[in-house]
A and B are shown apart, each in its own frame.
Chain A
């Protein structure tokens, strides 16, 4: 018996020591949630339709060019929606030749046809795949940008719905800057300027004879004014297909232009340099449009062949040129993002919450302690020790699992105290009943624990079921609560049954106790 007890004690001490080791020192090992530390949580939606539309537009354009080289005349190729385009007016005698051009298109698109008109619809499985890829690409891009921002311990993850991404940035105070950096598409394109700048859009269209040809587009842009003058807005006619895009960027960094104003210089990779060199060689004397997110930032005249270096100027502040280089380095987003949710907690509010949480946990523990000692006397000490052990193990397991402590999580601690009391009271009341049926003290204690074990297991399983669904439902702070509750429930089975029983056995062993202080 005594030897048995020694082993039980040793195992309890070992578990507690491991737990303390896991969470000590707590300010380093216990992770605080945003609601306690301060910071911002964002939920974004990736407009995956953008990527589908781009795919459809590109496929339609490519087919158009193919048909042109094969001399298959069609009336029009129109993009009907993000996932479908129509080719109309295919001449009957060219039908066979037209169909033979479709090999590439039909790997991704379903065809339906009628009298010279063909409609191509993106296949459903390809749609799913494209959407999935787009969200993953956006996720990676955001990750790179956030890392470049230098935020400590950010979380970037897929959110509940398929097209949502959650970003947590602890300790970030300039929320608007962070949001701007995450959200801008940062799509850099170098395009040939055909005409411009014009003072308004209508003038640009008029210069084209009122009709914008399919391989051209009119983009808004900035007109460089004389030094010291504010820049104006103008419109440029540019070629739709860019010579080089941001995908061919090797690096981008903030720099100064010849007037010592902030600018961004970029360099291209080998592939980009080859394309850019050939393009500038062929277009000396013409304007190069540096287009960022469909706006012409500047349109310098190409003086000579340029291979792998370029510079984006504009009316940037220092901060803006730094942010733009950051965004260009981390790559363009594959689609637009919209913000669905934003929760910001200032650091002062977080500190207040910690204080309130600790206060209420201490208050709760104090009230429970008083009650247990008054009502159960010496046995109450057993209960308190087992509840204390439970809280230590809970903290240790949370630190070990890397769980985050949130304000609702503190509520989870308080409920764990309640749960510990519940199990102990259940046991004590049963022991009292067994004592009343005139058994010896040891037998009564032993019978009390044995009879109650099944009840404790039943109640804990039921609570665990509720906690599991809570975890499944929750946003991150509620998850903190559900996780705390779950771990607390599991360790409570150990402390309320095993620790408390060992304590009883230790007090009763070797002595002939006639009366139990309970």
Chain B
């Protein structure tokens, strides 16, 4: 069986369209984030998340009414299989007055639920994050992402031409921004797991790009006469079946995670799914396009300066 063998699509011709399309999605994501605010999960913003199991079925509104005396905007949703009567309750960061204990909100929730006659309750998980930890994680998350991008850029810069390293990194940034944009659109919070997924995408996206660049390098040696554009386009085509198949299989594996992995990993798996699609797309359209655009500028600069000296 063979898929996409010996193709000869002119991907490079579409580069400006591709860049425009990506720009639209990314700008929409940024606009969304700028107007509605970045939806930070409690890992980063601080706050309280509890999962409470009720003895009998209760509605979100019943829970909301029971908690009406607690300050702050509460989010109440069903957690997992509805037959298990589990609710997830999110409470924002307490304004830390002097001596306000971290678990003040959580205790208030348990007391209020016990007082509301909703039957016996069991807290099956609770996450309480103080503002110090949240701010610390924000800082370190950004640091980790930038540092890993710089590290990868340096590695690719050592192994390939510099223009290629820029292409690969542009593609990586592209994938991160696309993933974040879709997280916004789908209403997922930025949590620790999501940031882990985004960091994984950095590695994955560069993976694909390196495979094509390796092929470009190999072809540049054997086909010195052809233009860079032609060589790159050929290399993309030669590796196309591999690119699509691996993206497809990894997508299948992560899809299983998305479907069966439970709520804890849902946002993680979703981010990965977007990242895999975007990574494949950016590998084909973005990384090599930018490498070519930068290379041709360098080449032009070199020929003009060469002419001057002659």
Would you call B245 and A469 a contact (CB within 8 A)?
A: no
Would you call A473 and B130 a contact (CB within 8 A)?
A: no
The residue in chain A whose Cβ has the minimal distance to the Cβ of B168 is: A462
Chain B 60-85 near chain A by CB (<8 Å), digits 1 or 0 = 00000000000000000000100000
Chain B residues lying within 8 Å of A343, measured Cβ to Cβ, are 125-128
> What is the CA–CA distance of A481 and B271 in the complex, to the nearest angstrom?
15
The residue in chain A whose Cβ has the minimal distance to the Cβ of B43 is: A475
What would 15 A/B residue contacts be, using CB atoms closer than 8 Å? A340-B102, A341-B130, A343-B127, A344-B125, A345-B124, A352-B262, A356-B265, A363-B260, A367-B255, A418-B246, A422-B207, A467-B203, A468-B151, A473-B199, A474-B192
Known contacts: A426-B246, A459-B207. The answer to whether A339 contacts B262 by CB under 8 A is no
Would you call A422 and B250 a contact (CB within 8 A)?
A: yes
* 9 closest cross-chain pairs (CB), A and B: A466-B203, A473-B144, A363-B256, A356-B262, A418-B250, A364-B253, A463-B203, A469-B148, A364-B256
Would you call A160 and B140 a contact (CB within 8 A)?
A: yes
- Tell me which of B147, B245, B255 contacts A425 (CB under 8 A): B245
Would you call B102 and A339 a contact (CB within 8 A)?
A: yes
Would you call B192 and A478 a contact (CB within 8 A)?
A: yes
A178 within 8 A of partner (CB)? no
Would you call A339 and B130 a contact (CB within 8 A)?
A: yes
Chain B residues lying within 8 Å of A381, measured Cβ to Cβ, are none
Known contacts: A339-B130, A463-B204, A473-B144. The answer to whether A418 contacts B249 by CB under 8 A is yes
Q: Which of B113-121, B152-160, B292-300 makes up part of the contact surface? A: B152-160
A200 within 8 A of partner (CB)? no
Chain B 225-239 near chain A by CB (<8 Å), digits 1 or 0 = 000000000000011
Would you call B261 and A349 a contact (CB within 8 A)?
A: no
Query: What is the distance, in angstroms, from B166's C-beta to the closest C-beta of chain A?
Result: 15
- Tell me which of A346, A419, A426, A482 contacts B123 (CB under 8 A): A346
| Beyond A340-B102, A432-B2, 15 additional pairs, beta carbon < 8 A | A338-B102, A344-B125, A344-B127, A356-B260, A356-B261, A407-B264, A426-B246, A455-B211, A458-B210, A466-B202, A466-B203, A469-B145, A470-B200, A472-B147, A473-B144
Chain A 418-441 near chain B by CB (<8 Å), digits 1 or 0 = 110110011001101100100000
Known contacts: A45-B132, A341-B128, A356-B261. The answer to whether A466 contacts B148 by CB under 8 A is yes
Would you call B264 and A462 a contact (CB within 8 A)?
A: no
B143 within 8 A of partner (CB)? yes
Chain A residues lying within 8 Å of B152, measured Cβ to Cβ, are 462, 465-466
B15 within 8 A of partner (CB)? no
- Tell me which of B126, B196, B214 contacts A455 (CB under 8 A): B214
Would you call A462 and B253 a contact (CB within 8 A)?
A: no
The residue in chain B whose Cβ has the minimal distance to the Cβ of A479 is: B196
Would you call A473 and B140 a contact (CB within 8 A)?
A: yes
Known contacts: A339-B101, A342-B103, A473-B144. The answer to whether A375 contacts B128 by CB under 8 A is no
The residue in chain B whose Cβ has the minimal distance to the Cβ of A418 is: B250
Would you call B210 and A408 a contact (CB within 8 A)?
A: no
> What is the CA–CA distance of A466 and B203 in the complex, to the nearest angstrom?
5
Query: What is the distance, in angstroms, from B244's C-beta to the closest C-beta of chain A?
Result: 10
B179 within 8 A of partner (CB)? no
Would you call B125 and A371 a contact (CB within 8 A)?
A: no
- Tell me which of B132, B143, B193, B246 contacts A340 (CB under 8 A): B132
Would you call A474 and B254 a contact (CB within 8 A)?
A: no
> What is the CA–CA distance of A356 and B141 in the complex, to the nearest angstrom?
27
Chain B residues lying within 8 Å of A361, measured Cβ to Cβ, are 256
Which residues of chain A in 367-392 are interfacial with respect to chain B, using CB atoms and an 8 Å cutoff?
A: 367-368, 371-372, 374-377
Interface size on B, residues (CB 8 A): 76
The residue in chain A whose Cβ has the minimal distance to the Cβ of B132 is: A340
Would you call A469 and B199 a contact (CB within 8 A)?
A: yes
Taking Cβ atoms with an 8 Å cutoff, the residues of B that contact A are 1-3, 5-6, 51, 53, 80, 101-103, 122-130, 132-133, 136-137, 140-141, 143-145, 147-148, 151-152, 155-156, 159, 192-193, 195-196, 199-200, 202-204, 206-207, 210-211, 214-215, 218, 238-239, 241-242, 245-246, 248-250, 252-257, 259-262, 264-265, 268-269, 272
Chain B at the A interface: SS class: helix
Chain B residues lying within 8 Å of A481, measured Cβ to Cβ, are 196
Would you call B133 and A43 a contact (CB within 8 A)?
A: yes
Query: What is the distance, in angstroms, from B266's C-beta to the closest C-beta of chain A?
Result: 10
A10 within 8 A of partner (CB)? no
Would you call A466 and B199 a contact (CB within 8 A)?
A: yes
Would you call A462 and B242 a contact (CB within 8 A)?
A: no
- Tell me which of B101, B199, B214 contacts A470 (CB under 8 A): B199
Chain A at the B interface: SS class: helix
Query: What is the distance, in angstroms, from A290's C-beta to the closest C-beta of chain B?
Result: 26
Which residues of chain A in 391-420 are interfacial with respect to chain B, using CB atoms and an 8 Å cutoff?
A: 407-408, 410-411, 414-415, 417-419
Would you call A462 and B155 a contact (CB within 8 A)?
A: yes
- Tell me which of B103, B151, B254 contacts A364 (CB under 8 A): B254
Known contacts: A356-B262, A462-B203. The answer to whether A422 contacts B124 by CB under 8 A is no
Chain B residues lying within 8 Å of A415, measured Cβ to Cβ, are 200, 250, 253-254, 272
Would you call A375 and B1 a contact (CB within 8 A)?
A: yes
Chain B residues lying within 8 Å of A467, measured Cβ to Cβ, are 200, 203
Chain A residues lying within 8 Å of B196, measured Cβ to Cβ, are 408, 470, 474, 478, 481-482
Chain A 161-186 near chain B by CB (<8 Å), digits 1 or 0 = 10000000000000000010000000
Known contacts: A353-B264, A408-B193, A485-B200. The answer to whether A425 contacts B253 by CB under 8 A is no
Known contacts: A356-B265, A458-B214. The answer to whether A425 contacts B246 by CB under 8 A is yes
A11 within 8 A of partner (CB)? no
Query: What is the distance, in angstroms, from B302's C-beta to the closest C-beta of chain A?
Result: 27
Chain B residues lying within 8 Å of A359, measured Cβ to Cβ, are 260-261
A197 within 8 A of partner (CB)? no
- Tell me which of B145, B214, B242, B246 contacts A454 (CB under 8 A): B214
> What is the CA–CA distance of A372 and B250 in the complex, to the nearest angstrom?
12
Chain A residues lying within 8 Å of B125, measured Cβ to Cβ, are 343-346, 349
> What is the CA–CA distance of A365 and B249 in the complex, to the nearest angstrom?
10
Known contacts: A349-B124, A473-B199. The answer to whether A421 contacts B246 by CB under 8 A is yes
Chain B residues lying within 8 Å of A478, measured Cβ to Cβ, are 192-193, 196
Which residues of chain A in 35-87 are interfacial with respect to chain B, using CB atoms and an 8 Å cutoff?
A: 35, 43, 45
Would you call A364 and B252 a contact (CB within 8 A)?
A: yes
- Tell me which of B124, B215, B245, B265 contacts A408 (CB under 8 A): B265
Chain A residues lying within 8 Å of B210, measured Cβ to Cβ, are 455, 458-459, 462
Would you call A465 and B203 a contact (CB within 8 A)?
A: yes
Would you call B151 and A469 a contact (CB within 8 A)?
A: yes
> What is the CA–CA distance of A359 and B145 in the complex, to the nearest angstrom?
30
The residue in chain B whose Cβ has the minimal distance to the Cβ of A366 is: B256
The residue in chain A whose Cβ has the minimal distance to the Cβ of B106 is: A342
> What is the CA–CA distance of A81 and B196 in the complex, to the nearest angstrom?
42
Chain B residues lying within 8 Å of A429, measured Cβ to Cβ, are 239, 241-242, 245
Would you call B126 and A342 a contact (CB within 8 A)?
A: yes
Query: What is the distance, in angstroms, from A477's C-beta to the closest C-beta of chain B?
Result: 8
> What is the CA–CA distance of A359 and B282 in the complex, to the nearest angstrom?
31
A357 within 8 A of partner (CB)? yes
